Amino acid sequence: MQRKLRLRKREDFSRIYRNGKSFANSQFVVYWTRQHKAEPFRLGVSASKKIGNAVVRNRMRRLVKEIVRHQTDRIAEQLDFIIIVRKPAVGLGLKELEKSMLHVLKRAGLMKQNR
């Protein structure tokens, strides 16, 4: 995941949580808002201590970023969004995680329309 595509500032996270919309399934929660200065989009990943120790949290963050990196061309533009990892996602493999994440992004309306 390129550095310019990441959300890192607390103010950005707070703005999205406060003003954004959300959608969830059992493995992920996604909060999003439109942002015109976001080139294609910007992503933030959150994994709380509830899902495991630092090794588990960092692994989940890396997997989420990798899934989004592979789907960059399919995700709508001018978005800021945050993906929150839930505990049931920890036991899943990469394919199941990808399927679940694509499901939550499609239901939230963050995927480009096929033409």
The DSSP-derived string for 84-102 is: EE-GGGTT--HHHHHHHHH
- 115 pLDDT exceeds 60? no
pLDDT digits (tens, 9 = 90+) for 2-12: 888 899 999 99
Tell me the percentage of the chain whose pLDDT exceeds 90.
Answer: 84
In a domain, 75, yes or no: yes
Amino acid, res. 114: N
pLDDT digits (tens, 9 = 90+) for 26-48: 999 999 999 887 788 999 999 99
In a domain, 91, yes or no: yes
CATH code at position 15:
3.30.230.10
CB-based contacts of 13: which residues, under 8 Å, 6+ apart?
Answer: 7, 44, 46, 82
| Count of structural domains within the chain | 1
Domain range for 79 is 10-108
Q: What's the rounded mean pLDDT across residues 43-68? A: 96
Single pTM value for the model: 0.91
In a domain, 113, yes or no: no
- Inter-residue contact 65 to 45 (CB < 8 Å): yes
In a domain, 45, yes or no: yes
